[in-house]
Chains A and B, each alone.
Chain A
Amino acid sequence: MKAPWLFAVAATLAAQPRFEKDILPIFTANCFACHGGRSMVGLDLRTGSSALRGSDQGPVIVKGDASGSLLYQKISQRLMPPPAFNLKLTDPEIETVKRWIDAGSPSDEAESAARRWKEQAARFDKEALPILKARCFQCHAGDKPMAGLDLRTLESLLRGSANGPVIEEGVADKSILVRRITNKSMPPPGAGSPVTEDELRALRRWIDTTSFPVLTTRKERTSFTKAEAPDYAEKDRLWWAFQKPVKKPVPAVHARQRVRTPIDAFALSALETKGLSLSPDASPQTWIRRAYLDLTGLPPSPKELEEYLADKGPGANQRVIDKLLDSPHYAERWGRSWLDVAGYSDAAGFDNCFPVVEVYEGMWRYRDYVINAFRQDKPFDRFLVEQLAGDELYDWRNAKTYTPEMRDALIATGYLRSIYDRTDADIVNLVNERYDVLFDLMEKVSTGLLGITVNCARCHSHKFDPIAQRDYYRLQAVFLPAFNPMNWKQPKNRWLPDVAKQEEEEIKAHNAEIDRQIADLRKQVDRIRKPYEDKLLEAKLGNIPEPIRAETRTALKTAADSRNEVQKFLASKFEKQLKVAPEELDKAMTTDHRSFTHKLDEQIQTFTAYKRTFGKIQALWDVGPPPVSRLLQRGAVESPGPKVTPGVPGVLSSSNGDLQRPAETPEGSTGLRLAFAKWLTSRDNPLTARVFVNRVWQQHFGRGIVETLENFGRMGATPSNQGLLDWLAVDFMEHGWSVKRLHKLIMTSSVYLQSSAYREDAANIDPENKLLWRRDLMRLDAESVRDSILAASGKLDRTVGGSPIILKVRPDGLQELVADEQHPNPNFRRSLYILSRRNYPHQFLQVFDFPTIQINCVRRSRSATPLQSLALMNDEFVLEEARYLADRVRSASDPIEQAYLLTLARRPDREERNLATEHIRKQTAIYLLANATPDTARTKAMASFCQMLLSSNEFLYID
Chain B
Amino acid sequence: MLRQGLPRLSRRSLLEMTGLGFGRLALEGILQAQTPRIPQDLKPRQPHFPPAAKAIIQLVHNGGPSQMDLFDPKPMLAKMAGKPHPDGVEIHQPNNANVLLPSPFQFQHYGQSGMEMAEILPEIGKMADELCLIRSMYTEHNNHPEGLNMLHTCKIFPGRPVLGAWVSYALGSVNQNLPGYVVLRDPEGYPVSGKQLWSNGYLPALYQGVEFSSSGVPVFNLSPADPLPPGAQKTSLDYLQQLNRKHQREHPGEFELEARIQNYELAARMQLAATDVLDLSKETEATRKLYGLDNPQTASFGMRCLMARKLVEAGVRFVQIFPGVGQPWDTHSKLKTDLPNICAKTDLPSAGLIRDLKSRGLLDSTIVMWAGEFGRLPTTQNSDGRDHNRNAFSLFMAGGGFRRGFTYGETDDFGYKATVNRVSVPNLQATILRLLGIDHRKLTFPHAGRDETPTDATVTGAEVVKDLIAGGATA
Binding site for B on A (CB under 8 A): 28-29, 33, 84-87, 172-174, 178-179, 182-183, 204-205, 208-209, 350, 352-355, 420, 425, 427-428, 436, 443, 447, 452-453, 455-456, 459, 707-708, 710-711, 713-718, 756-758, 760, 763-764, 767-768, 777, 779, 811-814, 838-840, 843, 846-847, 849, 852-855, 858, 861, 863-871, 873-876, 879, 911-912, 915, 918-919, 922-923, 926-927, 929-930, 944-945, 947-949, 951-954, 956-957, 959
Contact = CB atoms under 8 A, between A and B. Distances in A.
A864 B40 contact: yes
Contacts of B94: 86
B123 interface: no
Contact of B193 (A353, A711, A838): A353
A875 B226 CA distance: 11
Contact of A763 (B8, B211, B449): B8
Given A204-B422, A427-B92, A912-B246, A849 B157 contact: no
Nearest to B211: A813
The 4 closest A-B pairs by CB, nearest first: A854-B159, A354-B194, A453-B449, A930-B229
Nearest to B92: A427
B235 A926 contact: yes
Contact of B260 (A420, A459, A847, A869): A869
B190 interface: yes
Contact of A923 (B145, B236, B427): B236
Given A182-B461, A758-B251, A813-B220, A948 B157 contact: no
B256 A779 contact: yes
Contacts of A954: 243-244, 247
B243 to A, nearest CB: 5
B235 A923 contact: yes
Contacts of A713: 449
A911 B246 contact: yes
Contact of A863 (B206, B216, B459): B206
Nearest to A854: B159
B444 to A, nearest CB: 13
Contact of B239 (A425, A768, A915): A915
B214 interface: no
Interface stretch (B196-204, B328-336, B400-408, B432-440): B196-204
26 contacts: A86-B92, A86-B93, A86-B94, A86-B95, A172-B422, A173-B422, A174-B461, A182-B463, A183-B463, A208-B422, A355-B194, A447-B448, A452-B449, A710-B448, A758-B253, A767-B10, A767-B11, A839-B195, A852-B199, A861-B204, A864-B260, A876-B225, A926-B232, A945-B239, A952-B243, A954-B243
A261 B468 CA distance: 66
Contact of A854 (B30, B201, B242, B419): B201
Contacts of B158: 350, 352, 420, 838-839, 854
Nearest to B449: A453
Contacts of A715: 30, 33, 449
Contacts of A918: 239
A449 to B, nearest CB: 13
Interface in B216-264: 216, 219-225, 229-233, 235-237, 239-240, 242-244, 246-248, 251-254, 256-257, 259-261, 263-264
A355 B326 CA distance: 11
Nearest to B326: A353
B243 A353 contact: no
B365 interface: no
A731 B261 CA distance: 43
Interface of B: 7-12, 30, 33-35, 40, 88, 90-96, 142-143, 145-146, 157-160, 189-190, 192-196, 199, 201-202, 204-206, 210-211, 213, 216, 219-225, 229-233, 235-237, 239-240, 242-244, 246-248, 251-254, 256-257, 259-261, 263-264, 266-267, 270, 419-420, 422, 424, 427, 448-450, 457, 459, 461, 463
B220 A926 contact: no
A427 B240 contact: no
A953 B449 contact: no
B220 A717 contact: no
Nearest to B237: A873
A29 B92 contact: no
B37 to A, nearest CB: 10
Contacts of B11: 767-768
Given A854-B160, A868-B260, A954-B244, 14 more contacts: A86-B96, A427-B143, A428-B143, A455-B448, A812-B216, A839-B158, A847-B205, A852-B159, A852-B201, A864-B263, A911-B246, A915-B243, A919-B235, A923-B232
B267 A866 contact: yes
A951 B240 contact: yes
Given A354-B190, A863-B204, A843 B220 contact: yes
Contacts, number: 256
B244 A952 contact: yes
Nearest to B190: A354
Contacts of A179: 461
Contacts of B219: 870
Contacts of A173: 422, 424, 427, 461
A380 to B, nearest CB: 22
B229 A929 contact: yes
A175 to B, nearest CB: 9
Contact of A869 (B205, B264, B459): B264
Contacts of B229: 926-927, 929-930
A226 B164 CA distance: 42
Nearest to A172: B422
Given A858-B448, A866-B263, A911-B246, A875 B221 contact: yes
Contact of A768 (B12, B192, B459): B12
Nearest to B256: A864
Contacts of A952: 240, 243-244, 247
Nearest to A635: B459
B207 to A, nearest CB: 9
A855 B448 CA distance: 10
A695 B457 CA distance: 32
Contacts of A756: 251
A276 to B, nearest CB: 15
A813 B448 contact: no
A205 B420 contact: yes
Most buried by B among A28, A455, A768, A947: A768
Nearest to B242: A915
Contacts of A864: 40, 256, 259-260, 263
A760 B9 CA distance: 11
A849 B8 contact: no
Contacts of A812: 216
Of listed A208, A452, A711, A959, residue having the most chain B CB within 10 A: A208
Contact of A708 (B12, B190, B257, B449): B449
B221 A85 contact: no
Contact of B91 (A86, A858, A911, A949): A86
B34 A707 contact: yes
Nearest to B240: A948
